[in-house]
Chain A
Amino acid sequence: MREAIRFLRGDQIIELFDVAPTETLLDYLRLRERKVGTKEGCNEGDCGACTVALGRLVDGRLVYEPVNACIQLLGQVDGCEVVTIEDLAEGGALHPVQEALARHHGSQCGFCTPGIAMSLFTLYHQPAAAPDRKAVNEALAGNLCRCTGYRPIADAALEVCFAEPDDKFSRQADTIVEILSGLRDGDEIFIGDERSFFASPASIDSLADLYARHPDATLVAGATDVGLWITKQLRELPKIIWLGRVAFLDRVEPIEEGLIIGATASLSRVEPEIARLDPDLGAVWSRIGSKQVRASGTVGGNIANGSPIGDTPPMLIALGATLELRKGDTARTLPLEDYFIDYGRQDRGEAEFVTGLFVPAPGPNDVFRAYKLSKRFDQDISAVMAAFLFTVEDGRIIHARIAFGGMAATPRRARRAEAALGGAVLAEPGTWGRALKAIERDFAPISDMRASAEYRAKAARSLFAKALVEAAGMPSERTRVQGHREAAEILV
């Protein structure tokens, strides 16, 4: 057992014995290391000014991902390389992404600049591809810049981020891999005492055990929700059990019938695999939060938090996913939709935790569609999240699973619409009418700053119609793209 966390910083392995359970990485950098290049603009994951890069081993390869240091717990960097803006330059020379930003005048007031440079640093280290504005937009979706209008930043990114990386990090990759491998010890971590601790169990059994002894502890996977409880709601969370090092809990395993996703698999790791089940899944997935949020956030967390506006549950429910939970030695599975009981209430017992889920692949007769409707294209919570699975035989819909987020207190199926759709003929829009009417009775949405109740109701109906139109293969392929910002993609 270890009573410290360890991580790589430059050429040093840092070992910290004094880690408060809810200390954030940003506070560590600014207050303890006194490296103030990493900025704070919101402390809630929304602006990206605090972006740093974490180097991690994924299948033996070194992968750099951006994270929001403001909502990352310090303990979560155990085993990682932590790269901040101060680390990029080599000798006196700026890093290629910094050079490019300067050349294109990508920094005005400069306050967003460190975060932007770090996001571009991770893009620079992604496997080289053809310059692609969409990839740039994705990489920077979580970085606000209020000064530049992004134009010079995008130009800088297009210029340098799509070549073979050549910097001190790429040149030392082997050494870094070696060091990080060495830091992977499979030890349990426990810092603190019985009343207040940061713990990182290494196996499912030890997690079950620890949680049973401390059912009042807070489980943390990516902390993209829990981090906000700390920075936004200022909650005291004396006992933290971090799931990030539990072996096998992060598996992503494609099988014949579908996909097995471990509870702590990050949204970004799941992204390519889930996209293979259906492109709509991939498209919506890439719009959950930002790159930073997806690099830390997990599918388990997205489900476990029970939010009515989580993006993955409606899609997974429409696909018929099952959830696996564990408590002590006992595991059980249940249909995902049954997990959500009511607002703030889930079917999860004391000391019980999510271990993973199984997502069946759509069959050959199935048509799947998913749409995320948000106020802003990126980095925004859904106003309405809709997912549809139609099973079609001889042009007739013989079975439908429709699930919505943002329309009720939980992610929920549209049972009336599903029933009314039975037998509808895709080629005859006249036969859809009953179902389109029925969906109005499925939900009684509320108004908030993202949308009014009326807009939600209208949008739900509209998205349902859109799914049917698309399933019927009627108009141009353009209606296939997701959400509301497709128009922008024409220009990219």
Chain B
Amino acid sequence: MSLRVAEKLSGRFRYLADDAPKGALVGLVLRSAHPHARISRLDTRAAEAVPGVHAVVTTADVPAGFRFGLRLKDQPVLADGVVRHLGEAVAAVAAETMEIAAAALAAIDVDYEILPPVTDPHVALGKEAVALHDGGNLCHAFDYLKGDVAVALEASAHTVDLSLDTPRQMHVALELEGGVAIPGEGDLVLRAPAHDPHHVRHVLSELTGLEEENIHVVGSPIGGSYGGKEDLHVQPVLALLGLKARRPVRLVLSRPEAVAAGIKRHPFSIRLRAGCNADGRLTALDFDAVADTGAYASHGPEVLETAMECAPGAYDWPSVRLAGRLAYTNNGISGAFRGFGAVQTQSALELAIDALADKAGVDRIAFRRLNLAAAEGPGPLGQTMVPMLELEPLGEALAALPAVPVGRPDERFVAGTGVALIRKGEGFGGGGPNGALGRLALGFDGRIRLETSLTEMGQGLEAAALAALRQAFGVDGRDVGLRIGETAVGNSGPTSASRGTQIAVRLVRKGAETMRQALGAAAARKLGGAAEDYISGPGGMFRADDRRNRPDIGFAALAEGEDIAVDVEIEPIETHLDGLACHTLFTACAARAFILVDRWTGRITCTGIDVLPACGMPLVPAAFDGQMAGGAAQALGFCLTEDLLATDGSFAARNLDGYFVPTIADMPPVRIHPLVELDARDPVGLRGAGEIGLNAVAPAIACAVRDVLGIPPLRLPVDPDWVLDVLEARR
């Protein structure tokens, strides 16, 4: 058992906001109760006068016009005259106690001039809509056209029309957004969960005017994120408070704050038309999606791009039209969430595939296999891509899965099965931060460690990296170590888009040969001989020709007086296609789901899930399975229970009592059947496991619902009320 695991289990593990230096102040944020309003007056004098208050910050403390964002910079740190979403930060205080901070918040005087909220993304894109940003409400658009879709659909033997609305799913990481700012003389330490410490540092430098080298950001470990902590959350406000108060400040959001103001999954509204020939060959796909990014872009543009790239699925379409629009509204903020836009479009597409298969009278799995995209590419947008030979084997494996008893359907329960076969781009689309720097070094503690700014959030990056180190150097667990998730080490880019573990392992593998040479050379310097005479092994370096039980020199001794380190760089693989962002590297996955529908109540129970990921040989099988099972649970919530409903820009739930994260009783058995062989020509050799399971399981559950009801669900999560109506109408 690794030390980290033991610490987590025994309660000794420290998350970044668990500890604060003695005397740290308490930070609190004043948030707007209105989703859309103009601030006509903001007076903090009374709050500043409260004894025990050390700092009050507003937009006046921010450089004029300052905006931040992951790519598109459109978000103010504190409302700059206008609030655009419920819970938007307006001011913040740092005070000696929670009570004083609360009193200070209450003493801040704000007058809001309430504006009508823009809540329907379709309406937001219309001509009459009030513009929430200078450039209007169209945050991003994506268009792609191949062939003449209208003509092809006209000529098709079968067509289906389908629409699907998907939920505003909430990440619900159990760890709330929070952190600690520790200002020093001309510098700043900021500890708060983050996917990309270097990015955080860059934003904080621009915000505060401190040089980057004077800011140290620690972003790991994270108590759960799933994409929800990819954006900066408390960091900018914390930095402002800390620097103004000149004291350490700790600020942790409450759950209601996180529900109101945290990042959510983009709700998509999808309309599609698809066709096939009489023999079941796909002809054309016409796919429109409107996504709601809420008040700010966050990762919205990239989410839209991934969603649209995945809209055609794993299939070969002679003609395709894709049109995606991302709208600003006053509905919170949507951003990155495991599955990254793709799960929304994939769910709609797989439902359409089933509908076409049924119309054509072809078995649903056979229909999929008949229409798979060519292994050699081109990719879904016509791009060149790393070949993917996994699709057909997955189709075959799906067809070969043993039938599993689904309980006994009877006069009360109706049973259904759904399958899905998907692929999703890995890493970022064209132009994204796909490259990575890292370092392998031998520490004075005698551990060969990987240094990377990638972060651990429960996905098992640490375990995989440690395993890769052990493998690469033939050593034991006590000989390897990590230094991760902070700006003191090289910039490895964001830990997202399923790239984290994959990149960490590749850093190790790429640097291993040079590092082995460096270790050998050091051994030769100390013991004589040549570098090639030595190889690494458990505990230290061994003479290659004369292998004993004990190393000839231990790693700690080897490190003495030496600086043994290797810088590693992974260069991005990029594709640009007429300005369209797209991927070259894809991961494939299939899934099957069983459900029972209760005729009495319209409730749906998922009774079994199979996941067939094609990610290569998992380094830490239990961690890999954990990613699949965890993704399956989130997919189940996406399809059956989770939605943060908004009315006029305000959410129906303010905490977890009205938002239904699946509990243990909701989870059926999840069986994982990994396809371990990746094509020998594959330059990467393994794929991230973080998202792909979720991407496949959600459409499989949606298809199971269609299997029972005969018509595809119009919205997810499936509403029991609607189920009862459908059942009644069928009677």
Seen from chain A, the residues whose Cβ lies within 8 Å of a Cβ on chain B are 35-47, 49, 84-86, 88-89, 94, 98, 101-105, 107-114, 117, 136-137, 140-141, 143-154, 232, 373, 375-381, 448-452, 454-455, 458-459, 462-463, 465-466, 475-476, 478-479, 484-488, 490-491
**B242 part of interface (Cβ distance < 8 Å):** no
Please tell me which one of the listed residues A105, A108, A451 contacts residue B459 in the complex, with CB atoms under 8 A apart.
A108
| Residues of B contacting A37 in the complex (Cβ-Cβ under 8 angstroms) | 10-13
How many residues belonging to B are interface residues under a CB distance threshold of 8 Å?
Answer: 80
In the complex, the answer to whether B656 meets A144 with C-beta atoms within 8 Å is yes
Given contacts A42-B656, A111-B15, whether A144 and B10 have CB atoms under 8 Å apart is no
Residue of B nearest to A88 (CB): B10
B72 touches A (CB below 8 Å): no
Are the C-beta atoms of A148 and B668 separated by less than 8 Å?
no
**Residue numbers in A under 8 Å from B9 (CB-CB):** 94, 98, 101-102, 107, 110, 113, 117
Cβ-defined partner of A458 (8 Å) among B460, B632, B652, B724: B724
Provide the bound-state CA to CA distance between A41 and B459, in Å: 19
- Report the bound CA distance from A151 to B668 in whole Å: 9
Q: Find the A residue at minimum CB distance from B644.
A: A449
**Per-residue 0/1 for B598-609: is the Cβ within 8 Å of any A Cβ (1 yes, 0 no)?**
101111010110
Residues in A whose Cβ lies below 8 Å from that of B600 = 462-463, 465-466, 479, 484
Instruction: Assess the A148–B626 pair: CB atoms within 8 A.
Output: yes
Q: Which residues of A contact B12 (CB under 8 A)?
A: 37, 86
Contact A36:B18 (CB < 8 A) given known A41-B174, A109-B223, A475-B411: yes
Q: A148: which B residues are within 8 A, CB to CB?
A: 626, 629-630, 633
Tell me the complex Cα distance, A42–B173, Å. 11
| Minimum C-beta distance from B401 to chain A (A) | 17
A152:B626 contact, CB within 8 angstroms: yes
A-B contact pairs, 22 of them (CB 8 A): A37-B10, A38-B11, A44-B656, A84-B11, A102-B5, A102-B9, A105-B626, A107-B5, A110-B221, A110-B458, A111-B224, A148-B633, A149-B629, A151-B625, A151-B626, A154-B664, A377-B665, A455-B724, A479-B600, A484-B601, A487-B596, A487-B605
B641 interface residue, CB < 8 Å from A?
Answer: yes
Closest-CB distance, B253 to chain A (whole angstroms): 11
Number of A-B contacts (CB under 8 A): 243
Residue of B nearest to A30 (CB): B18
Q: Contact at B223–A111, with CB atoms within 8 Å? A: yes
Q: Which residues of A contact B223 (CB under 8 A)?
A: 39, 109-111
Q: Report yes or no: A153 in contact with B664, Cβ–Cβ below 8 A.
A: yes
Q: Which of A38, A112, A113 has most chain B Cβ within 10 Å?
A: A113
Question: Does B549 belong to the interface (CB within 8 Å)?
Answer: no
Query: Which residues on A sit within 8 Å (CB–CB) of B724?
Result: 455, 458, 462
Tell me which residues across on chain B come within 8 A of A459, comparing CB atoms: 601
A178-B226 Cα distance, complex, nearest whole Å: 48
Q: For the complex, is B290 an interface residue (Cβ under 8 Å from A)?
A: no
For residue A283, give the distance in angstroms from its CB to the closest CB of chain B. 13
The one of A151, A154, A487 in contact with B407, judged by C-beta atoms closer than 8 angstroms, is A487
How distant is the Cα of A150 from the Cα of B666 in the complex, in angstroms? 10
Asked whether A136 lies within 8 Å of B645 as measured between CB atoms, the reply is no
15 more CB-based (< 8 A) A-B contacts, given A41-B656, A476-B410, A486-B598: A44-B656, A45-B657, A104-B622, A112-B174, A113-B9, A143-B663, A145-B664, A146-B172, A147-B630, A148-B626, A148-B633, A375-B641, A380-B660, A449-B652, A487-B598
Query: Of B174, B226, B653, B660, which is within 8 A of A49 by CB?
Result: B174
CA distance A148 to B633 in the complex (A): 8
Distance A94 CA – B222 CA, assembled complex (angstroms): 23
Cβ proximity bits B1-44 to A, threshold 8 Å, 1 near / 0 not: 10001101111111100110000000000000000000000000
Q: Are the CB atoms of A137 and B626 closer together than 8 Å?
A: no
Asked if A144 meets B172 with Cβ closer than 8 Å, knowing A36-B19, A43-B254, the reply is yes
A107 to B11, CA, bound (A): 12
Q: How far is the CA of A465 from the CA of B601 in the complex (A)?
A: 11
Q: In the complex, what's the smallest C-beta–C-beta distance from B457 to chain A, in angstroms?
A: 6
B413 contacts chain A at the CB level, 8 A cutoff: yes
- Complex CA gap A377/B598 in Å reads 13
Contact in complex: B255, A462 (CB < 8 Å): no
Is there contact, CB below 8 Å, between B629 and A46?
Answer: no
Residues of B within 8 A of A44 (CB): 255, 655-657
* Nearest Cβ on chain B to A485's Cβ, whole angstroms: 6
Within the assembled complex, what's the spacing in Å between the Cα atoms of A38 and B12?
Answer: 10
Which chain A residues lie closer than 8 Å to B174 at the CB level?
Answer: 39, 41, 47, 49, 109, 111-112, 144-146
A35 neighbours in B (Cβ, 8 Å): 11
Query: Are the CB atoms of A150 and B11 closer together than 8 Å?
Result: no
Q: How far is the CA of A114 from the CA of B670 in the complex (A)?
A: 24
CB distance from B69 to the nearest CB of A (A): 25
Contacts of B412 in A (CB 8 A): 475-476, 478-479
Q: If A41-B176, A148-B630, A375-B641 touch, does A490 touch B408 (CB 8 Å cutoff)?
A: yes
Q: Which one of B10, B223, B600 has the greatest number of beta carbons of chain A within 10 Å?
A: B10
Distance in Å: Cβ of A132 to nearest Cβ of chain B: 13
Nearest B residue to A381 via CB reads B657
Question: From residue 650 to 680 of chain B, which have CB atoms closer than 8 A to chain A?
Answer: 652-653, 655-658, 660-670
Q: Which of B221, B411, B602, B603 has the most CB of A within 10 A?
A: B603
Cβ 8 A contact of A86, one of B11, B413, B665:
B11
CB < 8 Å: which of B10, B607, B661 contacts A146? B661
A-chain residues with CB within 8 Å of residue B623 when the two chains form the complex? 105, 108
Contacts A36-B14, A146-B172, A148-B630 given: A107-B661 contact, CB under 8 Å?
no
Q: A40 CA to B413 CA in the complex, in Å?
A: 39
Partner of A141 from the list B601, B607, B665, B670 (CB cut-off 8 Å) is: B665
- A141 proximity list for chain B (CB < 8 A): 663-665
Which of B221, B605, B631, B661 touches A488 (beta carbons < 8 Å)? Answer: B605
- Check if A149 sits within 8 Å of B667, measured CB to CB: yes
- Provide the residues of chain A in CB contact with B432, threshold 8 Å: none
B52 at the interface (CB under 8 A from A): no
CA distance A463 to B601 in the complex (A): 8
Look across to chain A and name the residue whose beta carbon is closest to the beta carbon of B225. A109
Is B634 positioned at the interface, with any CB of A under 8 Å from its CB?
yes
- Name A109's contact: one of B173, B634, B670 (CB within 8 Å): B173
By a CB distance below 8 angstroms, the chain A residues around B431 are none
Q: Are B667 and A151 in contact (CB under 8 A)?
A: yes
Q: Which residues of A contact B458 (CB under 8 A)?
A: 108-111, 147
Q: What CA separation (Å) do A98 and B602 show in the bound complex?
A: 39
Cross-chain contact A41 with B255 (CB below 8 angstroms): yes
Q: Is B538 an interface residue (CB 8 A)?
A: no
Q: Is the CB–CB distance between A491 and B665 below 8 Å? A: no
Residues of B within 8 A of A114 (CB): 11
B175 at the interface (CB under 8 A from A): yes
Alpha-carbon separation in the docked complex, A94 to B7 (Å): 10
Inter-chain contact A478/B410, CB cutoff 8 Å: yes
Known: A149-B667, A458-B724. A232 touches B655 (CB 8 A): yes
In the A-B complex, the 10 residue pairs with the smallest Cβ-Cβ separation, listed nearest first, are A37-B11, A109-B458, A110-B8, A85-B11, A111-B223, A149-B629, A108-B458, A484-B603, A105-B622, A149-B633
Within 8 A of A (CB), among B473-493: none
Report if B720 contacts A (CB, 8 A).
Answer: yes
Residues of the A chain whose Cβ atoms lie less than 8 Å from the Cβ of B408: 490
| Pair A147/B626 contact, Cβ less than 8 Å | yes
Which residues on A sit within 8 Å (CB–CB) of B607?
Answer: 487-488, 490-491
Taking A85-B11, A102-B9 as contacts, is the C-beta distance between A376 and B175 under 8 angstroms?
Answer: no
> Once the chains are docked, how many angstroms separate the CA of A369 from the CA of B407?
24
User: By the criterion CB–CB under 8 Å, are B175 and A109 in contact?
Assistant: yes
Contacts of A479 in B (CB 8 A): 412, 600
Point out the residues of chain A lying under 8 angstroms from B571, CB to CB. Answer: none
Distance between A122 CB and nearest chain B CB, rounded to angstroms:
15
B546: Cβ under 8 A from any A Cβ: no
B 459-481 binary contact with A (CB < 8 Å = 1; else 0): 11000000000000000000000
Closest to B259 in A: A42
Judged by a CB distance under 8 angstroms, whether B185 is at the interface is no
Interface centre among B12, B600, B660 (most CB of A within 10 A): B600
- Tell me whether B641 and A376 are in contact (CB under 8 A): yes
